[in-house]
Amino acid sequence: MNNIESVVKSRHSVRSYKDQKIEGEVLEELQKEIQKCSEESGLNIKLVLNEEKAFGKTHYGSFDNCKNYVVIMGEKNRKDLDEASGYYGEKIVLKAQEIGLNTCWTKLTYNKAEVPCTLNENEKISIVIAIGYGKVKGTNHKSKEFSAVSKTIENVPDWYKKGVEFALYAPTALNQQKFKFELKENDEVSLKTAGLGLCTKIDLGIVKYHFELGAGLDNFKWSE
């Protein structure tokens, strides 16, 4: 298993955190990745440290001691806001995992009103990622089979198999894994998600990034 594979396979949602602060080199690396993702994506991504209210216990009980989080903000009318948030957010999630931190994507179970970020005009919070040193490391989610998420099943190249395998390790809202890949002619790959759920397009961006990591960008092209 190479490094990125072990990072992808060891990432699980963690909702319970130690008091240990994010600081020193780990903080520097995390900030660097956030900065890079902000610049590449045009999203406004901020790290909030040592803030207890957004995941405070009274209302948002599923989280324990979460005091750090990444806030992803973007233009309200940007068409690909959710997909880009998923794609770049997952880059940050996997970088965090690589440097010893744990994470959990959160659309609903935090208190938006307590997030101390100033939104620019026409901007909204697209999603938040809880981050810190987990008291636990999480466990594997229940996963669909290859054949349930790939229209193409027979005679597929190894890179495609690996891409789908990585996608099955991706976090999705409520672990729904409502995505379908298809291998088309000329090494083109299509990825579609079913339904219009609140997080469908965020999931799409996350899953897309996982597939690219597994398959290798040199091996295929996304089809429209």
Would you state the structure tokens that stand for residue 144, as one six-digit string? 């669909």
Q: How many CB atoms lie within 10 A of CB 198?
A: 12
Q: What is the DSSP annotation of the chain?
A: --HHHHHHHH--B--BB-S----HHHHHHHHHHHHHHHHHH--EEEEE-S--STT-TTT-TT-BS---EEEEEEETT-TTHHHHHHHHHHHHHHHHHHTT-EEEEESSSS-GGG---PPPTTEEEEEEEEEE-BSS---PPP---HHHHBS--SS--HHHHHHHHHHHTS--GGG---EEEEE-GGGEEEEEE-S--TTHHHHHHHHHHHHHHHH-GGG-EE--
- Work out how close the CB of 173 gets to ligand FMN at its nearest, in angstroms, rounded to a whole number: 4
Contact 97, 7 (CB under 8 A): yes
| Cβ-based nearer residue to ligand FMN, 125 or 183 | 125
Q: Does 124 help bind ligand FMN (rule: CB under 6 A)?
A: no
| Residue 131 in contact with ligand FMN, rule: CB under 6 A | no
Q: Could you say which of 96, 199, 204, 213 contacts ligand FMN (CB under 6 A)?
A: 199
Of the candidate residues 7, 12, 102, 205, the single one contacting ligand FMN (CB under 6 A): 12
Tokens coding 78: 């940007």
Q: Residues 45, 101, 104, 115: which binds ligand FMN (CB under 6 A)?
A: 104
Q: Work out whether 143 is an interface residue with ligand FMN (CB under 6 A).
A: no
Query: Is residue 141 near ligand FMN by the rule CB under 6 A?
Result: yes
Among residues 34, 139, 143, the alpha carbon closest in space to that of 90 is found at 34
The piece of 24-32, 41-49, 199-207, 210-218 that touches ligand FMN (CB under 6 A) is 199-207
- Which listed range, 1-9, 27-35, 98-106, 144-152, lies at the site for ligand FMN (CB under 6 A)? 98-106
Stretch that binds ligand FMN, among 11-19, 67-75, 182-190, 208-216 (CB under 6 A): 11-19
Least distance (Å) between residue 10 CB and ligand FMN: 11
From the CB of 62, what's the least distance to ligand FMN, in Å?
5
The reply to whether 165 sits near ligand FMN by the rule CB under 6 A is no
Q: Does 120 bind ligand FMN (CB under 6 A)?
A: no
65 binds ligand FMN (CB under 6 A): no
The residue ranges that bind ligand FMN (CB under 6 A) are 12-13, 15, 62, 104-109, 138, 141, 171-175, 199, 202-203, 206
